[in-house]
Amino acid sequence: MTSPTLLCAVALLAAAPEGGSISITTTSPEAAAKYVEAFDQLFAGHIDVSRAAANKALSLDPNLLLARALLYSITPGVEAMKKVDAAAQAGTSLPEAERTELAIYAANKHGESENARALELKLLELAPRDWRSHVYVGTTAFFLGHKAEEGKKHLREAAALNPKAVSVWASLAAIAIEQGDRAGAAEAQKKVADMRPQDPAAQADYAYALITAGNLDEAEQIARKAAALPNAGAKPLAALANVEFYRSQYARGRRDLAKARSLSKDENERMGLIIFDMLGYTAEGKYQGAMQAASALEKEAQAKKNPNFYVLAAMNRSFAANLLGKHGEGQKYAAETLVRIEREPLSDVGRKGLKRGAYIAAMWAQAFGNNTAEAEKTLAMLEKDAAESPNDLNVQSAAWWGRGVLKLAKGDAKSASEEMQKCVPSFDLCHFHQAIAQERAGDRAGAQATRTTLLAQQRSQDTFFLTLRSQLLKKQGQAANTQPPAAKTG
């Protein structure tokens, strides 16, 4: 006799659109809807909201494998990786498109970006009428390959299939930013804000886009209005703090960040806000404040048994030291980061990504700390990483930057600038160092152009960039003060 549960699952599958869509095998249509919400919020960058939706889906149907794979794909640690693998293995009898989506989660959790990319292309062949297929391919094309037009093509197709998907407009906004269309990015996020006037996350995203467009007054208005919404949570206050940091209102920004942390219901979001606050201290030039924030992060990460943030605490100590010119300290903390990476129970993708960040922190400190012998060893690790991910331009850029920094340390500024100009536009540190190389090579006009382009970015949610920005603005002021006085006329 067929069980009622099986009949329900079969009925739901039969009711799903045929001819090119991804099935969601579940006994609960409400669970399927929550999984789709979790997917959308994940690709919109709202990991906390995605996690809550995935948990809700599993409370409605504990056997919904896609929700299980998504949830553990965004959960730190090696045990979470095993659960993603288990979900993929449990789905061997599911329809092919659904099996392929499960395999994508598993590949990404193992840090196998090339395999994941191949699976996403396969999913698109199997389900060309499903907006999620286009989001997978479009976001990978842009965020990894920096192929803006290819990314836009698939995301516009996704928007046609599901115009209410927040992830689509968020990704189109990111592409617009990289192409220099900051007003277009704000317009894309406004579509979501208008569709979701009572959604604090959507309003905060619009405020961030306005920061990027340089409209700080309007960004503040949107953030304050969103913070007054029922159940506003942390996001609008974090956006408001971002505006305040841009205005060098650091004490006020830290108060809003503290309030945001107190309102957040997601431990990962709270720890992310500590990092934002920590590097806010570096933008202000307060090294000890940054170190104290790192200690707070370490304490919370250990209490929550979160290996990723425990490693990130040490890594960001190194970045803070490097940003403020303390390269000996930077080397020490980068070495500590690498030790933690080896000891902590990280997933494969966590280990790989954190190692890349640690190598960047280490090489920065070594090259500018006159330790070129160690820098050469670190560059070899960045180049090995790049060889394993030929289609990920972020990884390639880390190697280009590394080669450039080493050449700069050895006195070949011209070759250094040529290497670093290859970096993707979003790799701000690379272009910051590119300007230094150009200036040392005698190309003052080129250095000024690079700095002007970098300053125009107006990155949001990025206090690392704010530190670079504060240093660039200081240099601009120094340059202006050394200019000869203008000739009098009349």
pLDDT digits (tens, 9 = 90+) for 246-292: 999 999 999 999 999 999 999 999 999 999 999 999 999 999 999 99
Question: Which tens digit of pLDDT belongs to each residue from 287-322?
Answer: 999 999 999 999 999 999 999 999 999 999 999 999
Q: Name residue, tokens 């841009």.
A: 246
For the segment 328-353, the average pLDDT, to the nearest whole number, is 98
pLDDT > 90: percent of the chain: 91
| Tokens matching residue 126 | 């199997």
C-alpha 200/C-alpha 461 separation (Å) is 16
CATH (residue range 266-474): 1.25.40.10
Positions of CATH 1.25.40.10 in the chain = 15-161, 180-258, 266-474
Question: Which tens digit of pLDDT belongs to each residue from 158-191?
Answer: 999 999 999 999 999 999 999 999 999 999 999 9
4 against 400, higher pLDDT: 400
| Contact (Cβ atoms closer than 8 angstroms) between residue 88 and residue 57 | no
Closest to 358 (Cα-Cα) out of 393, 333, 327: 333
Phi, psi of 108 (to 5 degrees): -65, -35
Phi, psi of 439 (to 5 degrees): -65, -45
Strands (E), 381-470: none
HEC readout, 51-113? HHHHHHHHHHCCCCHHHHHHHHHCCCCHHHHHHHHHHHHHCCCCCHHHHHHHHHHHHHHCCCH
Q: CATH second-level architecture of 180-258?
A: Alpha Horseshoe (1.25)
Q: b/e per residue, 44-53, with b = 16+ CB within 10 A? A: bbbbbbbbbb
Under 8 Å CB-to-CB from 449, ≥6 apart: which residues? Answer: none
- Residue ranges in 369-392 assigned as alpha helix (H): 372-388
| Contact (Cβ atoms closer than 8 angstroms) between residue 219 and residue 211 | yes
pTM above 0.85, yes or no: yes
Q: Residue 479 has what pLDDT? A: 60
pLDDT band at 3 (very low <50, low <70, confident <90, very high): very low
Closest to 432 (Cα-Cα) out of 476, 390, 471: 471
485 against 445, higher pLDDT: 445
Distance of CA 300 to the CA centre of its chain: 21
| Tokens matching residue 272 | 């992310």
Count of other CB atoms within 10 angstroms of residue 18: 9
Question: Which tens digit of pLDDT belongs to each residue from 201-242?
Answer: 999 999 999 999 999 999 999 999 999 999 999 999 999 999
Q: How far is CA 487 from CA 476, 480, 482, 483, 484, in A?
A: 21, 15, 15, 12, 9
pLDDT band at 490 (very low <50, low <70, confident <90, very high): very low
Phi, psi of 247 (to 5 degrees): -90, 10
Closest to 200 (Cα-Cα) out of 238, 173, 253, 170: 238
Tell the CATH topology of 15-161. Answer: 1.25.40
Q: How far is CA 10 from CA 3, 17, 23, 97, 232, in A?
A: 11, 13, 11, 16, 39
pLDDT band at 475 (very low <50, low <70, confident <90, very high): confident
Q: What is the largest CA-CA distance in the chain?
A: 102
Q: Residue 11 has what pLDDT? A: 32
